[in-house]
Amino acid sequence: MITRVIHGKRPRGPAFLVIGGAVAAVGLFAAVAIATLVTDAGSCDVTVANKNTSADCTLTSGALVSYIGSSDTARQASGTGLFVPFVRLQGSPSEQGFNTDAAVTFDAKAGTWTHAITVSSIPIVDCDGVVSTTAQCWELFVDINEGNSNKRVSLNDVQIFFTSSAVLTGYTPGPPPAFSTPAGAVTTEEYAFHGDILINDVNQGSGRGDLRYLVPVAGHTWDSSTWFVLYSRWGVTTGTAGANGTGTYVSDGGFEEWKVRKASNVSIVKTANPVGPVSAGTNIGFDITVSNTGAAAASNVTISDPLPAGGDLDWSLNPTFTGCTITGNVGAETLNCTFATLAAGASIGPIHITSATTDADCAIVSNTATVAVNGATVGSSTANVTVECAAIVILKQSTKLVNDLPVLVANAGAVFSYDSSSVTDNGTGDEDTTVGSVCVSGLAPGDYTVNETTPPTGYGGASQTDLTAVAVNGTNCTTNLPTGTGIVTFTNSPLSDIQVNFRDGGSGETSATISCDNPDGTQDTTAATGWDSSDTETGVSAPVTVTCTITIDP
């Protein structure tokens, strides 16, 4: 019978694992995130009569177990240069063990054959063994080396664990064995088979991929630092063979070696260069590096990077990089790179892209690049850089003091220029709601020449001209207002109008002349309605004393 169970729905015994010399007795429900455990069980017969045939057995989980005869030219491969072994077992009449960078235990053999391996190093293929399905599986091989007199052997337990440590020792076998969350490492059991996989090892010689075990990857989560631990136990099936082979299924002392095909392991890293924050008006950039940490070269490696538009970003390669181009119009540019091969252990890059910035780009600029091998995306990386802008404050004060202190003007509407732009107090471009105070943000850091071009209603023009406001990087009109040289002040006099009038009392015999000594303002001597003569002074700046002389000639 083949079954599939979810973690936690069958009783589990305790287990003991040593990490770095410390022993931890742990149970299934330790205080870590428990992964979904997929379990297969039952009998799976992949015995074959001779090397000219192969046999498959599909388990309930979707795992596919195959014995591949050496004459099966479509699936069989041999040669130590094609595979990377990660655990070798040798024992009789049964054998067991697991891969680790610690001293080996049970029947695992020390040497280059047994070592820790990351999940990312396990090749992923279609679960049916050919390119005809979207389901993906880890591809594991076993080189089986039973003696000529007893070619049969059974595989009875297979367990896969994810762990944060490469150094694992001490293990309590089942059936079925289990461990979870040892001290010093986070460990989850991801897959388990317990039963009888029956094998007739008809192939001759070592270095072959005799048994292939495809384990579905769906539902499992890992990253580049996750270790792949595989425990297996062989030779405990009782009874004698059926149609294929003779003898029992015990291990006769030949080794069983789990291994994977040599495969590429391509990844991409993108970083901001400079890391920022960057002042608007200076260049931003990103570096892209693609690496192959696998055991085989990667073919047809491509990079795709839709470049951020920002406000007006225009990207270029600096320096140029063979195999890479940037295409598209400003605001819709894409970096594309193509490399025929990337050798094992090699890297490409850094590929540096750069763009100038303006105050239109003040924001977090985010960029994601992806890498593909033979058309399949294998990784992506995102980097961010902050383009910081600055602000200035313009104050509009009255020359009239209140309690000997300056005050802001009472009317909005003053217009100021800063370099080639303009802003109106409590109007266009002003981010400050206070009358007499103007704030402008989103500026590239630097010096700005500020002038008043229009005073507010009721006030005279400012005497100050060409004031310099220094926009400091990171200042704004909300949480980090400008201070010191980031603030410029213009003073304006409030204006007054005076009028002095003369009118004959009724005799018709008197007349008068009126003169005022106002130093500013506008004089109008046109007689006001109903008066014989007038002197009107408008736009008189306060504070001021105006003396008017009226000469009456009766």
Are 374 and 475 within one domain?
A: no
Q: Which residues have C-beta within 8 Å of that of residue 413, sequence separation ≥ 6? A: 424, 425, 426, 427, 454, 456, 457
Q: What is the pLDDT of residue 172?
A: 66
Asked whether residue 8 is assigned to any structural domain, the reply reads no
Residue 537 identity: E
Q: Which pLDDT belongs to residue 515?
A: 87
Query: Is residue 1 situated within a structural domain?
Result: no
Cβ(232)–Cβ(99) below 8 Å? no
Does a structural domain hold residue 320?
A: yes
Q: Does any domain span residue 95?
A: yes
487 & 512 share domain: no
Tell me: do 162 and 205 sit in the same domain.
yes
Percent of the chain with pLDDT over 70: 88
Whether 382 and 447 map to the same domain: the answer is: no
Q: Is the pLDDT of residue 359 over 60?
A: yes
- Of 268 and 297, the structure prediction assigns the larger pLDDT to 268
CB of 357 within 8 A of CB of 278? yes
> What is the per-residue pLDDT across 42-84, written as a single tens digit (0 to 9) for each?
999 999 999 999 999 999 999 999 999 988 877 766 555 688 8
* pLDDT reported for residue 47: 93
Count the domains in the chain: 4
| Of 225, 244, 261, the domain-final residue | 261
Residue 132 pLDDT greater than 60, yes or no: no
pLDDT for the residue 120: 84
Res 6: pLDDT? 31
Confirm whether pTM is higher than 0.75.
Answer: no
**pLDDT of the residue at 10:** 32
Average pLDDT of the residues in 120-136: 74
Taking phi over 0 as left and psi of -120 to 50 as alpha, with beta for the rest, 120 belongs to: alpha
Examine the pLDDT at 91 and tell me if it is beyond 50: yes
More confident residue, 25 or 63: 63
Q: Which of 144, 138, 158 is nearest to 257 (CA)?
A: 144
> Residue 427: which pLDDT band, with cuts at 50, 70 and 90?
very high
Is residue 200, in this structure, part of any structural domain at all?
A: yes
Same domain? For 162 and 197 the reply is: yes
Q: Are residues 228 and 350 in the same domain?
A: no
- Tell me: do 197 and 273 sit in the same domain: no
Same domain, residue pair 384 and 394: no
The verdict on residue 338 lying in a domain is yes
Minimum mean pLDDT range among 72-76, 319-323, 513-517: 72-76
Task: Read off the pLDDT band of 543 (50, 70, 90).
Answer: confident
Greatest mean pLDDT among 166-175, 294-303, 515-524 lies in 294-303
Both tokens of 341, joined, read 């091969």
Task: Identify the weakest region by mean pLDDT among 70-79, 272-281, 386-395, 432-441.
Answer: 70-79
| 522: pLDDT strictly greater than 90 | no
Task: Tell me: cis bond preceding 175? Omega within 30 of 0 counts.
Answer: yes
Per-residue model confidence (pLDDT) at position 239: 76
Q: Distance between CA atoms of 508 and 88, rounded to whole angstroms? A: 134
Q: Which residues neighbour 352 within 8 Å (Cβ) at sequence distance 6 or greater?
A: 273, 285, 286, 287, 317, 318, 319, 321
Q: What per-residue confidence (pLDDT) applies to 175?
A: 55
**Where does a domain end: 452, 471, 492?**
492
Asked if residue 140 and residue 44 are part of one domain, the reply reads yes
Residues 279 and 378 in one domain: yes
Looking at the structure, do residues 180 and 254 belong to the same domain, yes or no?
yes
Tokens standing for 482?
């400008």
Residue 4 in any domain: the answer is: no
- 2 part of a folded domain: no
Looking at residue 131, what is its pLDDT?
52
Mean pLDDT of 335-353: 95
Examine the domain organization and report whether 225 and 278 are in the same domain.
no
Examine the fold and report which residue of 351, 367, 388 is the final residue of a domain before the chain moves on.
Answer: 388
pLDDT of res. 331: 92
Reported confidence tier of residue 99, pLDDT bands at 50, 70, 90: very high
- Expressed as residue numbers, the domain containing 399 is 390-492
Q: Which residue has the higher pLDDT, 175 or 123?
A: 123
> Does the structure show a pLDDT above 70 at 5?
no
